[in-house]
Amino acid sequence: MLGILPILAAATGNQDVRLFDTFFRVGSLVFGGGHVVLPLLRAEVVPSGWIGNDAFLAGYGAAQAVPGPLFTFAAYLGAVIGGWKTAVLCLVAIFLPSFLLVIGILPFWVNLRRRTAIQAALRGVNAAVVGLLLAALYDPIWTSGILSRADFAIASFAFLLLFCGGRRRGSLSSCVRQPARF
């Protein structure tokens, strides 16, 4: 499908096919969680003019406020682009590669997971995911949200509260005395 959808999208020029192709490709490239999808989705939907950067960030903020997988952000994007039918289309397109992968790999997984080469490949993919997560933090989140020294100070303080607030004493001083262990 990864080879057929782009050809079909270019040949027909149909927006629904182009959207399905875009969200299917993004869903195919994601490994390690929904936040990895942010730079990929943004690179596809904002420059194409389907959605503005402010609406993209507003939807991301809303997706963070509700429980569930971040992939549901695709439904928001689809709804903004073309209503509820487009929302369903985008949601199905982004989840479909994972379902197809599970259905295809599941019968062989027990044997595959024992192979050293597969384990090494998965470790490499996990390392690459860290880079994608940092890219998602920097652009669009950091570049759109941290615009002044005051923004940086607020973000740093919030990070300290999140990082240290879960300690036994629940104070910042306990964080300084007892550094986190990873």
Distance of CA 169 to CAs 32, 158, 160, 181, Å?
Answer: 33, 17, 14, 16
Do the Cβ atoms of 79 and 91 come closer than 8 Å? no
pLDDT in tens, 51-103: 999 999 899 888 888 877 778 889 999 999 999 999 999 999 999 998 998 89
Report the C-alpha gap between 163 and 157 in whole angstroms: 10
Per-residue pLDDT band for 44 (boundaries 50, 70, 90) equals: very high
Length of the chain: 182
Instruction: Name which residue leads in pLDDT, 129 or 91.
Output: 91
DSSP label at 33?
Answer: -
Report the C-alpha gap between 166 and 66 in whole angstroms: 21
pTM, rounded to two decimals: 0.69
Q: Which two tokens stand for residue 143?
A: 């570049």
Average pLDDT, the chain: 85
pLDDT (average), residues 117-130: 87
Per-residue pLDDT band for 30 (boundaries 50, 70, 90) equals: confident
Is residue 33 scored above 70 in pLDDT?
Answer: no
Mapping DSSP onto H, E and C, the string for 67-85 reads: CCCHHHHHHHHHHHHHCHH
